Structure 1
Amino acid sequence: MTVHQLPVELVAFTGWLSELAGRLRPGGGWYGVFAARDPDGLRACFDGTELPPWDVVESLLQDLGEPPGAPRAVRGRALHQAAAAARDRAPGAASTLADRLHSMEREAHAAAARVHRLADMPGPELAWARDDLRRARARVVELAGRLERVEARGAAGPVPGLGPGPGAAPAPRLAPPPAPAPGPAPTSAPPPPQSTRRPRGARYAWLDSADGGQAAAVPELPVGGAPPRGARFGGAPGAPAPAPVPAADPGQAERAAGNAVYALRRLRAQGRGGDAHGLLCEALAGPPGWLPALAAELHRAGLAADWATLLWEAASLPPARLAAVAGALADAGRPHDCDQLLRQGVARPVAELAGACAVLSAEGHHAEAQALLAAFLRARTPADAARLAALDPAALTPRLLAAARAVSPSRERDLLHALRVAGLA
């Protein structure tokens, strides 16, 4: 009987992953979603026969309330990269990665088409479709990077670790480099035929098949991280407030923006549009206060379409991060960008919207908080608004009524009726 020994790097990562899972509630959050949807695939990740995509690991960290820069997340990221490098040194890795990349590009196209079809129907279906798209795009970037490093080693000779061989030109990155985060990347593969089936594999890239049937009842997405509590969220007991975001240094912001635009142009000149898009969206992991400088630089360079794409992706950020970006845009005198971001963010679950509204208010951005609620009322049903108010009736009910009054008298009447039915007015 042949015994296959796992690489030590993969053993180290699976040990870390198992320790992380031991701290989570099995039936709750993203952990519960993954376990219910694909227990065999999740088990394969824990025993080391498969390596989960980083966005899956990041979701488990969010269940635990771990921000990307926390020590546990940083260590997990390093172990995951080392495990990926070990797997990619195996014979045939380039072919395997290329096949998975091609499959994930198709998933990204299918998810994008589904988001487009559901764009006028806000609700859980759209939220899941946007999550499928975010994950698929993140995995395109992850797989493409791994494949590029494998091919660079093949061209320059074996090189230990993650680094490419001599003479290989890695994609330029923002300076200083931000914390790792899933970055979207458009692909050039032709879109698949239209299908009424739910996109398969966008959440579970380590499997080639999944149940393509449409669920009868669509649950809401798990809320990333712990629910908003603490002094910044109305004084309710619970988890401590997120650490304040440091003020942006204007000089650093301008230098980073200039470097990003230079790198974007260079990558596109080389025909590496996917890398260019992924690099652009890494800005969302950096200081929010740097984004206005990037917006200005992109517009000066004639790249306004890239800024519009960046705002669209920012609308899917976790609540506190969304609020931080909106606040930074408002503070920098870019109210149109701020309003556009908030309008695009109203499709997310009501619990996340409550968190974003609370952060905006706690930071003194009351006008932006009201703009978020007004955009929510224009796009969502009165019943959705009542569900939002129920999360914090004392704070949200009067704000929602004020926002509805500013939208239209009929919207205020509909909201008041929904609140009365819910026992909140």
Structure 2
Amino acid sequence: MTVYQLPVGVSSFTGWLTELATRLRPGVGWYGVFADRDPEGMRACFDGTEILPRDVVESLLQDAGEAADGTFAARGRTLYATAAAAHDRRPGGAVALTERREVMERERRYAESRARELGGRLRAAPAPGPDETARLEHDLAWTRDDHARAAARVRELTVRLARLGEPRREPGREPGTRPDGGSAAPVSGAGPAPAPGPAPAPAPAPRGKRRPRGARYAWLEESTEGQEEQAAVVLPAGGAAPRGARFGGAGPAEGTGGAAPVIAADPPGAVRAAGNAVYALRRLRAQGRSGEAHALLCEALGGPPARLPALAAELHRAGLGADWSTLLWEAASLPPGRLAAVAGALADAGRAADCEELLRQGVARPVEELAGACAALRAEGHHREAHALLTAFVRVRSPEDAARLAGADPRGLVPQLLDAARAVSAARERDLLHALRVAGLAGV
């Protein structure tokens, strides 16, 4: 009889998840909703055979009353990233992710269509009666949540796939099934949805046409030619920070929003692009399109890193500090070179606290990727940030992991890791020295 043993990263996260469950009331809040909608999917996630969608983790933390920036939540996010990476690297993992993303994209489109239908019925003439209006508004609220969760999961799965490479589907496999025939989309945010046909591929842009402009494209690389033609958008005053599962229930980040560092220089179009994006974010949220707002926010990570400090300042100025925290969390999953570029841009702009927060969240990555991030930071002259990354690493990862990291570049990383361990504690330095000796790297 073959016994499947969970990867260490997955088992550590399921242990944390079980601890979180002890702080929840069964049948109450989001925990009750998800357990009622998909009990088998929840059970699979607690067993470690599937990975709980990240938006569900945030909802459960909200149920438990855990602070979004608290120690318990931060540990959970670190363990989640490690578990997801280990789970995705299993044989067939990339194919399963691809198929799950297709399922969630269909759910997103269905929820979007359903929301339009419900909105039209609410606006119909003659107006529905009070009871019918209340029912439609209730259904619309749930449909919007379904849409937002599906959109967030599409984004999450896309990031995870980017780290593995897009696979081809196995012949004969139906979308939405695992290689063992089970469901590939546990803990749905929506009920059974019709499966529309695949969306047509977007038509290529005609040659000779000007590049798209506006808030949706604010983060595309632009040539300096024609920049003056894009008018700045005036940001409306006031408005509350977003709340809910996708933002950990948090309001504006305290201690950072009121005193954002001043950007020393404005890279071409940075302030204008930030203003456009924040304006678009607030309009999307006002229309209940929070999933699209989240996707728009994350598009910033695909643009020039030098523009991110301006976006941070604009988000804090608009009272959207929670969005900036979300963006830093997403950035922690970027490829090593991109992660280093973002960290460097934040450091250069004087946002040291943001830079260190990003690096702390990034230490859950595989050691090979962290070695690449350290090398990229040092190549750009960001030695302080490389030290901060290694210090965070030796604080939360095992000495054996640190020895594996050192093996990627013994001459460069052994002394740097020892310096980082020394900054944590004398005991951590001794543990690391022992692990290095066992790995044959102590004399390097």
Could you state the TM-score of these two structures normalised by the residue count of structure 2? 0.49
| Residue in structure 2 matched with residue 328 of structure 1 by the alignment | 345
Counterpart pick for 1:351 among 362, 368, 375: 368
Structure 2 letter corresponding to 1:293: A
Offset, 1:143: 4.9
Deviation at 1:187, TM superposition (A): 7.4
- Structure 2 residue aligned with 1:406, among 413, 416, 423? 423
The question of 1:316 aligning with 2:333 is answered yes
Conserved in 1, the CA contact under 8 Å of 2:111 and 2:144? no
1:386 equivalent in alignment to 2:383 = no
List per-residue Cα deviations over 1:193-232 (Å, max 9, x = no partner).
xxxxxxx99978962221389xxxxxxxxxxxxxxxxxxx
Structure-2 residue corresponding to 1:125 = 83
Tell me the residue number matched to 1:208. Answer: 176
Alpha-carbon distance, 1:151 to partner: 9.6
CA spacing shift, 1:321–1:349, aligned 2, 3 Å: same
Answer yes or no: is 1:291 the counterpart of 2:308: yes
Structure 1 pair 134/209, CA: closer, same or farther in 2 (3 Å)?
closer
State the alpha-carbon separation in 1 of the partners of residues 332 and 339 from structure 2.
7
SS across alignment from 2:273: helix
Per-residue deviation at 1:111?
1.9
Q: Which residue of 2 aligns with 1:70?
A: none
Q: How far has the Cα of 1:264 moved from its partner?
A: 0.3
For residue 386 of structure 1, give the secondary structure of its aligned residue in structure 2.
helix
Q: Is the contact made by 2:78 and 2:361 (CA closer than 8 Å) also made in structure 1?
A: no
Q: Is 1:364 aligned to 2:321, yes or no?
A: no
Change (3 A) 1:255 1:119: closer
Write the distance in 1 (CA, Å) between the matches of 2:408 and 2:81.
17
C-alpha distance 252-190 of structure 1, shift in aligned 2 (>3 A): closer
Distance 2:287 2:81 in 1: 40
The alignment partner of 1:343 has SS state of helix
Retained in 2: the 8 A contact 1:292–1:332? yes
**SS, match of residue 110 in structure 1:** coil
Deviations 1:344-373 (A, max 9, x none): 000000000000000000000000000000
In structure 1, list runs of 5 or more residues that go unmatched. Answer: 1-101, 155-185, 193-199, 214-245
1:350 and 1:384 in contact (8 A); partners too: yes
For residue 280 of structure 2, the aligned residue among 263, 267, 271 is 263
Pick closer, same or farther for the CA change 1:271–1:119 going to 2, 3 Å.
closer
Partner of 1:188: 145
1:162-241 correspondence runs (5 A): 188-189=145-146, 207-210=175-178, 211=180
CA deviation digits over 1:52-105, x for unaligned, max 9? xxxxxxxxxxxxxxxxxxxxxxxxxxxxxxxxxxxxxxxxxxxxxxxxxx99x9
Change (3 A) 1:273 1:306: same
Return closer, same or farther for 1:138/1:276 CA change in 2, 3 Å cut-off: farther
Cα offset, 1:189, TM superposition: 3.1
Structure 1 residues 331, 386: CA separation in 2 closer, same or farther (over 3 Å shift)? Answer: same
Partners of 2:103 and 2:300 in 1: how far apart?
Answer: 18
Give the secondary-structure state (helix, strand or coil) at the position aligned to 1:209: coil
> In the alignment, is the contact (CA less than 8 A) between 1:122 and 1:379 conserved in 2?
no
In the TM superposition, what whole-angstrom CA distance separates every residue of 1:97-122 from its partner, at most 9, and x where no partner exists? xxxxx99x999993224697954647
User: Alignment length, in residue pairs?
Assistant: 253
Equivalent residue letter for 1:421? V
Which structure would you say has the larger Rg? 2
Q: CA deviation at 1:127?
A: 2.6
Secondary structure at the aligned position of 1:250 is classed as: coil
| Structure 1: distance between partners of 2:100 and 2:341 | 23
Identity %: 61
In structure 2, distance between residues paired with 1:137 and 1:336: 36
Preserved CA contact (<8 Å) 1:118 1:126: no
How far is the alpha carbon of 1:262 from its aligned partner? Answer: 0.4
C-alpha deviations, 1:4-57, integer Å up to 9, x for none? xxxxxxxxxxxxxxxxxxxxxxxxxxxxxxxxxxxxxxxxxxxxxxxxxxxxxx
Q: State the SS of the aligned residue for 2:384.
A: helix
TM-score normalised by structure 1 residue count: 0.51
Which residue in the other structure is 1:111 paired with?
53
1:416 paired with 2:433, answer yes
Q: Judge conservation of contact 1:319–1:353 (CA < 8 Å) in 2.
A: yes
Summarize the Cα distance change of 1:354–1:109 in structure 2 as closer, same or farther, 3 Å threshold. closer
Q: Return the alpha-carbon distance in structure 1 between the equivalents of residues 357 and 426 of structure 2.
A: 24
Alpha carbons 2:88, 2:97 under 8 Å: kept? yes
Superposition CA RMSD, Å: 4.5
